[in-house]
Structures are given as structure tokens and as C-alpha cells.
Amino acid sequence: MNQTRVTAVYLVETPYSLEKAAASIAGEQSTGTFTAVPGETDALKALHGAVVESIEPLEEVDAPSLPGAKTPPNHDGKYRRGVVKVSFPLHNFGPSIPNLMSAVAGNLYELQELSGLRLLDLELPDAFAARYPGPKFGIEGTRKLTGVYDRPILGTIVKPSVGLSMEELSALVERLALAGMDFIKDDELNANPPYAPLEGKVKAVMAAVERAADRTGKKLMYAFNITGDYDELQRGHDLVVAAGGNCVMVSILSVGLSGLTALNRYSEVPIHGHRNQWGMLTRSPLLGIEFTAYQKLCRLAGADHLHVNGLQSKFYESDASVVRSIEACTAPMFGGYATMPVVSSAQWAGTAPATYAATRTVDVMHLAGGGMLAHPDGPASGFESMKLGWEAAVQGIPLEQYAAKHPALQRAIEKYGKG
Amino acid sequence: MNQTRVTAVYLVETPYSLEKAAASIAGEQSTGTFTAVPGETDALKALHGAVVESIEPLEEVDAPSLPGAKTPPNHDGKYRRGVVKVSFPLHNFGPSIPNLMSAVAGNLYELQELSGLRLLDLELPDAFAARYPGPKFGIEGTRKLTGVYDRPILGTIVKPSVGLSMEELSALVERLALAGMDFIKDDELNANPPYAPLEGKVKAVMAAVERAADRTGKKLMYAFNITGDYDELQRGHDLVVAAGGNCVMVSILSVGLSGLTALNRYSEVPIHGHRNQWGMLTRSPLLGIEFTAYQKLCRLAGADHLHVNGLQSKFYESDASVVRSIEACTAPMFGGYATMPVVSSAQWAGTAPATYAATRTVDVMHLAGGGMLAHPDGPASGFESMKLGWEAAVQGIPLEQYAAKHPALQRAIEKYGKG
């Protein structure tokens, strides 16, 4: 690892040669502008210029992925794709996530020399670790707080997402807590709405959590959605901690990586990082950012838990992409920075086997909203069915076979397994 | 204007009927999940459900714009496009930009029912104006601080973007200030780098600005790039103000809209909002956000100046799209919230006529980096040529004709007009 440079890995598509496209990227994002200017000396370029480290050609295509690319004279009609690595001197921006993004993303997505650009990965020197301490709890801290070991942390999302009264919410949470649930989160649509302000919600929910804990001896983790403007983050966090709460949640793209960084400075409980809005940064295959790159920034900024969608989900994302995200999140970074991947979206007991088969890890949080709450025999059976699904998965027993002896799982299959 | 609902306007593409796609959007982002859950009553839906307000069919296409859409049984192979308006009860999230984004964007970009989704516009009730005061300076305040009326504010960007020593920068700024320049900004690549920390930069630059002002009687506006983590924003702002500086700049996508909101709470000088990274949110035509929608959020959050690219720029964006952005930024919002559109990228005197012809306004900031600094007779002539370009534009005189009597413009045309 080069400790004085940041390396960005891009998927590039261009009507020009890959060499010319790569040079445009390096020039635009360091010393260059559209015309030579006084002062752009060779010495300055040597000290501050970005450098094309490697170019790996891929396929050619007949049409541009994105509009607005200009074409060279005598263009052969081909658009060349390749993986291009560009390194930037760290001293151009320092270990600062906001300024890193201006350098490695910046105006690049708008260049006419490119008909496609996707940031695939980032290699960051240790200076970033010195500046950003990362998750305070991660996998180990979350297991300790929930008392759940050797299997995924299983939880649910409050549904309906919006509209429950505090009485209804409190009753629901108590019922789920008594059912043994490990974890519950607010929906990302529900933070601090006028009809149910966070302060009242924290009181109502924590009273339910504590009542149930007194009976079961197990205190579930509730992720309160504190997404809001900067000043609201601290206020929301402090409300949760003062009430004995043990997790806060933010929509990372709503508060920004710098919002997450700020929250991580004073947080006393794990931060549950939700990924909504991420689709617009990633669904166009030749645009935006691959989660492999983005999750590194989320971990630096302090996400103890990080949403990655789920296999067989209701979303567009392929299972292969979800698996890549889980693998990226569980890969060590600077020797640590462990975050717990959160698998969700149309999940139920039956999505456990494929998830385990593809990732071979139980260090995930597995969330099911409708997949537990709408279980025909109620949420307790929904929770039980999820545990059974993972038992079968880890033991390598086919789900149907395991279900023969376990009615909660059998009933889940009957309800959800017909899709 | 409905004061109790937010309306989002989407460009939608779907293999299903537009009606089904619209219903998916409304359900996903309010009370629904992938399966019916207890508690999602009709009364709750009536109070909290999103409502499809209108559907305007557009063309059909033969291939999906984005991957991962599922298709209905007996799919006819067509992907239907249309403009869909969906309204959301304000009380679901309140006047909160971060939570608004989770509602109107949220998981929508990932839905399998859609093969394309772009947020075109937002209609926001007055409650947002009560919560977010918007720009403190805007066009009027910026004109007052610069003393420039009746023409665009003309300025430049420090180039080379990175690598100048403080002595070189100070000398450059002094030379540009003595040349009469209205405005200079740091490059977005250059905020507070280790080789040139902001504190030293502010001192060096402001000394140059003040020295020149003593001689010319005109104090130029310098936008210091204070982009950084949350705590650095206030520190950077305070450094600038303490040194007599009169503008701060942030990369909005680096600090987030909530970073901008926070800065706007305590800012004592105009905030220059840079738009780098925006391309990834907008270059795929059937994905992301149209600037018409995004600029409203930037204005609410407090951007006194807002980058919009330029006509005939080095970027992919069409001139028509740039013109739409300028028109959007100059349209009144809540009866005010004026922001100054910042026209830049490969600009020079020769881009003034087209810009004025298309927008009929001089209430813009027009920035040229190389287009002034690399003028054959130096930056003072570069600045003069820009003024001349706008004089010709406003008076409707062809540029070449006006240049016959004005050598600085003639020389600019010789240098830049051959592209």
C-alpha cells in the first residue's frame, strides 16, 4: 500500500482510446484545466499531478452508455471499456472524505471524453485511519449489546412504516420483544415526524423494551431513526441514550458522510447505517459508484451496521451484487473497521440458506419486516422461523426437510415460499 | 399550492402499466411493504398514504434504460414512459430536507417495477420556508458586497488548481485584483490541503486582496473553499470572516445538504455552492435527479451562489439543460430565496452572447479560469474581454463586430475562438 497516494479504480467507457480517456481523468482532477495556464510547470505536475497507474482493456460496444460524449474525428463507432487505475497525491487533499470525493469523483462524471464512468474501488493510505476512527461497536460490540452469538442478529422493521400511534407502536414493540426478537428498527420513512415526534417515540418504545426485558431477561436493540439536520442528530442521539436506548439509525445519504462522521464523534451507541437513495448512485452500470468503494467511506465515517439489500429481494439488484457487498463489508480494512452487513428487503426464513451458502458467514444482521410480522401465527413464530431457517442453512439441511419437524418454519414456507 | 402535502414529479419507465408503476411508487414510499401487514388499515392509509395525482403517458421504448426490472407475464416487450406526480402527506416527515429525501427518493430507484426513474421536480409547502431560511445574501447581497451592478459578476478560478505555493497564490491574487476582477474562487480540488493549509491561505490571499483594494478602491470577493468535515466548516468560516474575507465555498455533495444547512445557520458571508459530483446523479437520463428539483433544496439550505455549468462547456451537458438550470435558479421560490447561478467550465468572452441570448439575464456569475488567465495579454485583458463580451451580448452586437474596436476581445477571439 502506497502511503502517500490514493488510488481510485474506475470502469471507463470512451469513444477515444483508453489512454486518452485515462489522461483526461488524471488531468481534470489534479493540475489541469481545458487550456494550458501559466504556472502549470513540470515541477508542479510532478509533485501534484494524478498518475495513470494501469489500464486494463475490456470489451468494445457499439453505442455509448451515457449521452453527451463527443467523438474523435474519424471515429470508428466503437466505445472502448476498460478498468483504469489513477493515483492522486494524498497531499493534494489530505485525509478528508469530503475533499477526497471532490478529487476522485468531482467533475469526472461530466467529461465529454467519457461515455461511461463508475468508481469501482478506492485504496486509501493509513492517514485516513488516523483521521477517521471508524465504528465504535461493529460486529463484536453489537453482539455484546444484544447477547446474540453464533448466529445472525435477527430483527424486524416497524410496519406499517408510517402512521402508527405511540400506543400502537409501544404495544407492537412489547409484543415483538416478548417474542424474543433481537433487534427492531424504525423504517427509514419514519424519523421524527410531526404526528409522532422522536421524543415521544423514544419514551414509548423504551418503556416497552424495558417492560419486556424485565420479563424475558433480554433487552432487544432498537434502532431509532434520528435522521435529520446536523443539530437534530445530536439531540436525537442524546434523547435515545438518556432513555436507555442502545442504537441510533441514520439514512447515510440524507445526512451525508460528514453527518455520519459528526455523529460518530459523540455517539455512545451503535450507528445503524441505512442506504436509501443509494440506487440512484449505482443502478446505471456505467455510472456512479460501486458499493465496494462506498462502503469503505461509510466504515471510515463510523457505520456500525450497513445495509446491503438482500438476496432474492424486491429490488433490482442481482444476488451476485448483494454478495459482493457483503464480502466487501466483511473484509478487514486498516486491520479492523468491522461493520455488520444488514440484509433486508423481502426477507424471510427462506432467504437464509442462499445467503449463508453464498457468504459463509453468520456475522450479518438479517431483517424481515413483513417476513416476520405477517407470519400466519404471529411475529413470535415469524422470529422462530428465521432462527430455524438459519439453523438449517448452517447445518446444510434442506429447508423443507428441516421444516417437517418445525411447524413455525413450515408455516413460513406456506406463506412466503410460493413467490 | 397544497400546504399539507409535498408533490414529487417523476419521469418513469416501466415494463408494467404506468398505473401499476405509479402505485408501486406511492406504496413503497408510504404505508406499504412487500406483503400486507397487520395494522395497515384503510384509516391509516387515508391519513398517511402517498397519492398518485396524475399520470401523463409519453413514448414507449423497446429496451429498458436500467437493468434489473422484472417483467409481467406475457410482457409485450415495451417499456412505457410517463410523467407521474405523487403527493405525500407533509406530516409523514415534516419540513426536513433529509427526511424529505428518504421519502421522495428513498428506495424508489431500486424498484423492480421500474426500468427508469428520475425525480424531475418538487412542490414544497411553505412549512419548508419556515424551517429553512435560505440564502442570506443571494443576488442582491452579492452585488452589494462586490459593488457590481447591471452586468454579470465576472471572475476566475485559481489555476493551476493545485500546487501553488502561498507566495505564488498571493502574487496571482494581487495581480488579478489589480486587474479589476470582481471575484475569484478556489478550485474545488483545493480546500485545506496539507501542503497549503486553509489558515495560511486565508492570510496570504486576504493580504493580497487588501493591498490591491487599497490601490484600486475595490475589494474583490474571494470564495475560500472550506469544504471539510462538519467541525471544519465552522472553523474555516470563522477563519475567513476573522481575516476580513467575504465569501466561503463548499462542494455541496461533499458536505451534504445538511452540511450546507448547518453552515447557513452561522454564516456571515455568502456561500458559494459548487456542484462537483453532481454528474453521477444526473447524467443517466432515466435515473437520478433533474437539477430543477435539486436546486430548490440547495436554495432552501442556503446556497447564495449555485454552479450550473456553462454553455458550450467542456462537459457532456447540453446547452438546453444548462439554460433550464439557470431558469430554475432564477425563478422565485417562496417569494424569494434568490441564488446567483454560477456559469463556468471552458468559459471565455465568446460564451457570453449565447448565454445572454438564451437566458436574457445578467444576474449570473460568469467564471472563466483558463479563459481569463491564459489570455495572450494576461489576466487583466482576459477580464476586460469578458466585460466586452457581455456588453456586446446585451447590446445585441455581433462579437466579431464589437471586437473590431476592442483589442482585448479581438485577442480573446484569436486565442479561444478557434475551438
Are A253 and A393 in a shared domain? yes
Inspect the interface and report whether the beta carbons of A262 and B106 lie closer than 8 Å: no
Indicate the residue among B131, B157, B180 that finishes a domain. B131
Whether residue A94 sits in one domain with residue A155: no
Contact A102 B345 (CB under 8 A): no
Q: Distance from A163 to chain B by nearest Cα, in Å?
A: 6
What would the pLDDT profile of B275-332 be if each residue is shown by its tens digit? 999 999 999 999 999 999 999 999 999 999 999 999 998 899 999 999 999 999 999 9
Q: Which of A214, A235, A216, A217 is nearest to A226 (CA)?
A: A235
Distance of alpha carbon B317 from alpha carbon A363, whole angstroms: 44
**CB < 8 Å from A in window 169-228 of B:** 172, 188-195, 227-228
- The rounded distance, in Å, linking the Cα atoms of B100 and B123 is 11
- Which residue, among B31, B50, B33, B51, has the nearest Cα to B41 in the 3D structure? B31
Per-residue pLDDT reduced to its tens digit, B215-240: 999 999 999 999 999 999 999 999 99
CB < 8 Å to A31, chain B:
160-163
**Where a domain ends, among B131, B154, B176?**
B131
Residues A100 and A143 reside in one and the same domain: no
CATH number at residue B344: 3.20.20.110
A256 touches chain B (CB under 8 A): yes
In this structure, the answer to whether residues B64 and B173 fall within a common structural domain is: no
pLDDT at A147 over 80: yes
- Contact across the interface for B280 and A281, Cβ inside 8 Å: yes
Which residues of chain B does A37 touch, with a Cβ-Cβ cutoff of 8 Å?
159-160, 369-370, 373-374
Task: Band the pLDDT of A43: cuts 50, 70, 90.
Answer: confident
Task: Say if residue A160 is preceded by a cis peptide, omega within 30 of 0.
Answer: yes
Kindly tell me if the per-residue pLDDT of B32 is higher than 70: no
CB atoms closer than 10 angstroms to residue A399: 21
CA angle B202, B208, B210 (to 5 degrees): 95
Residues B376 and B244 placed together within one structural domain of the fold: yes
Grid cell, residue B284, equals 443517466
For B:346-405, CB contacts with A below 8 A are 346, 369-371, 373-374
Residues A197, A203: Cα–Cα separation, whole Å = 10
With an 8 Å Cβ cutoff, are B229 and A262 in contact? Answer: yes
- The answer to whether B110 contacts chain A (CB < 8 Å) is yes
Q: Do B285 and A94 touch (CB under 8 A)?
A: no
Per-residue pLDDT, averaged over A344-373, amounts to 94
pLDDT score for B314: 87
Phi, psi of B124 (to 5 degrees): -115, 135
Rg (C-alpha) for chain B, rounded Å, is: 24
Say if residue B160 is preceded by a cis peptide, omega within 30 of 0: yes
Is A210 found in the same domain as A88? no
Nearest to A193 among B92, B228, B277 (CB): B92
**A148: helix, strand or coil:** coil
pLDDT digits over B55-75, tens only?
999 999 999 999 999 999 999
Number of H helices, E strands in chain A: 17, 12
Q: Rounded to the nearest 5 degrees, what angle is found at the Cα of B401, between the Cα atoms of B400 and B407?
A: 70
C-beta of residue A106 within 8 angstroms of C-beta of residue A28: yes
A289: distance to nearest CA of chain B, Å? 8
Q: What is the pLDDT of residues A376-410, one digit of tens each?
A: 999 999 999 999 999 999 999 999 999 999 999 99
pLDDT at A245: 98
Q: Which of B47, B157, B279 sits opposite A109 (nearest CB)?
A: B279
Q: B38 falls in which pLDDT band (50, 70, 90)?
A: low
Among the candidates A112, A131, A150, a domain finishes at: A131
Q: Which residues pair with A362 in a beta bridge?
A: none
Cα separation, B135 vs A415, in Å, equals 54
Which chain B residues are closer than 8 Å to A284 by Cβ? Answer: 66, 284, 287
Question: A128, A165, A229, A297: which to substitute to probe chain B, counting the most B Cβ within 10 Å?
Answer: A229
3-state secondary structure chain B: CCCCEEEEEEEEEECCCHHHHHHHHHHHCCCCCCCCCCCCCHHHHHHHCCEEEEEEEEEEECCCCCCCCCCCCCCCCCEEEEEEEEEEEHHHCCCCHHHHHHHHCCCHHHECCCCEEEEEEEECCCHHHHHCCCCCCHHHHHHHHHCCCCCCEEEEECCCCCCCCHHHHHHHHHHHHHCCCCEEECCCCCCCCCCCCHHHHHHHHHHHHHHHHHHHCCCCEEEEECCCCHHHHHHHHHHHHHCCCCCEEEEHHHHHHHHHHHHHHHCCCCEEEECCCCHHHHCCCCCCECHHHHHHHHHHHCCCEEECCCCCCCECCCHHHHHHHHHHHHCCECCECCCEEEECCCCCHHHHHHHHHHHCCCCCEEECCHHHHCCCCCHHHHHHHHHHHHHHHHHCCCHHHHHHCCHHHHHHHHHHCCC
Average pLDDT over residues A300-321: 95
Confidence of residue B246 (pLDDT cuts 50, 70, 90): very high
Closest chain A residue by Cα to residue B254 = A98
- For residue B154, the model assigns a pLDDT of 97
Q: Does B248 touch chain A (CB under 8 A)?
A: no
Q: Min CA distance, A244 vs chain B (Å)?
A: 25
- Work out the pLDDT band at B381, boundaries 50, 70, 90: very high
pLDDT at A114: 98
Task: Please count the other Cβ atoms lying within 10 Å of the Cβ belonging to residue A243.
Answer: 18
Shortest CA distance to B102 belongs to which of A298, A255, A361? A255
Tell me: do B199 and B316 sit in the same domain. Answer: yes
- Residues B98 and A255: beta-carbon distance below 8 Å: yes
CA of residue A81 relative to chain centroid, distance: 27
Structural element, H or E, at residue A123? strand A116-123
CB contact under 8 A, B230 and A32: no
- Distances, alpha carbon A274 to alpha carbons A250, A278, A320, A342, B367, in Å: 6, 9, 20, 9, 38
Phi, psi of A375 (to 5 degrees): -55, 135
pLDDT digits (tens, 9 = 90+) for A164-207: 999 999 999 999 999 999 999 999 999 999 999 999 999 999 99
Q: Which residues of B touch A160 (CB under 8 A)?
A: 31-33, 37, 39-40, 44, 48
CATH code: domain of residue B66: 3.30.70.150
pLDDT at B37 over 70: no
Residue B149 and residue B135 in contact, taking contact as beta carbons nearer than 8 Å: no
- The pLDDT of residue B1: 78
User: What is the pLDDT, as a whole number, of residue B33?
Assistant: 55
Find the mean pLDDT for residues A69-80.
96
Domain span holding position A68: 5-131
Nearest CA in chain A to B226: A99
State pLDDT tens for residues B191-214. Answer: 999 999 999 999 999 999 999 999
| Interchain contact A163–B (C-beta under 8 A) | yes
pLDDT, position A40: 74
Q: Of the ranges A275-279, B33-37, B54-58, which one carries the lowest mean pLDDT score?
A: B33-37
Contact A154, A355 (CB under 8 A): no
Which residue of A36, A231, A374 is in closest CB contact with B374?
A36
Q: What angle do CA A281, A285, A286 make, to 5 degrees?
A: 90
pLDDT given for residue B27 in this prediction: 87
Cβ within 8 Å, pair A315-B162: no
Q: How far is the CA of A217 from the CAs of A177, A407, B265, B323, in angstroms?
A: 10, 26, 45, 63
Are residue B243 and residue B268 in the same domain, yes or no?
A: yes
Chain A residues with CB inside 8 Å of B369's CB? 33-34, 37
B143: distance to nearest CA of chain A, Å? 28
| Residue A140, C-alpha cell as written in the block | 463484536
Burial class, B134, CB count within 10 angstroms (exposed 0-12 / middle 13-18 / buried 19+): buried
pLDDT of amino acid A206: 98
In this structure, the answer to whether residues B238 and B320 fall within a common structural domain is yes
Q: What does pTM read for this prediction? A: 0.97
Distance from B144 to chain A by nearest Cα, in Å? 30
Nearest of B109, B87, B144, B88 to residue B284 by alpha carbon: B109
| pLDDT value of position A28 | 79
Same domain (yes/no): A223, A308: yes
Chain-chain contact of B374 with A68 (C-beta, under 8 angstroms): no
Dihedral sign (CA B355, B359, B361, B363):
negative
- Tell me if B286 sits within 8 A of B66, measured CB to CB: yes
Pairing relationship of beta strands B221-225 and B305-307 according to DSSP bridges:
unpaired
**Inter-chain contacts counted by CB atoms under 8 A, chains A and B:** 342
pLDDT of residue A34: 53
* B262 and B398, same domain (yes or no): yes
Place of cell 469503505: A296
Percent of chain B with pLDDT over 70: 98
Per-residue pLDDT, averaged over A27-45, amounts to 73
Q: Are residues B183 and B321 in the same domain?
A: yes
What percentage of chain A exceeds 70 in pLDDT?
A: 98
Alpha-carbon gap: A218 to the closest alpha carbon of chain B (Å): 25
Q: From CA B248, how far away is CA B227, in angstroms rounded?
A: 9
Residue B266's CB is within 10 A of a number of other CB atoms, namely 11
| C-alpha cell, B386 | 469578458
Q: Give dist(CA A398, CA A419) in Å, integer.
A: 18
Q: How far apart are the C-alpha atoms of A117 and A119, rounded to whole Å?
A: 7
b/e sequence A220-231, b meaning 16+ C-beta within 10 Å:
bbbbbbbbbbbe
Number of folded domains in chain B?
Answer: 2
Element (H, E) at A379: helix A379-395
Model pLDDT for residues A316-331, shown as the tens digit of each residue: 999 999 999 999 999 9
Residue in B316, B344, B367, B375 to test binding to A, most A beta-carbons within 10 Å: B316
Task: Please provide the average confidence, as pLDDT, over all residues in chain A.
Answer: 95
* Tens digits of residue pLDDT in B102-133: 999 999 999 999 999 999 999 999 999 999 99
Q: Mutation test of the interface with chain B: which of A42, A65, A110, choosing the one with the most B Cβ atoms within 10 A?
A: A110
Q: What is the mean pLDDT of residues A35-39?
A: 65
Q: Which residues pair with B271 in a beta bridge?
A: B248
Q: Do B254 and A98 touch (CB under 8 A)?
A: yes
Interface of B with A in 322-341 (CB under 8 A): none
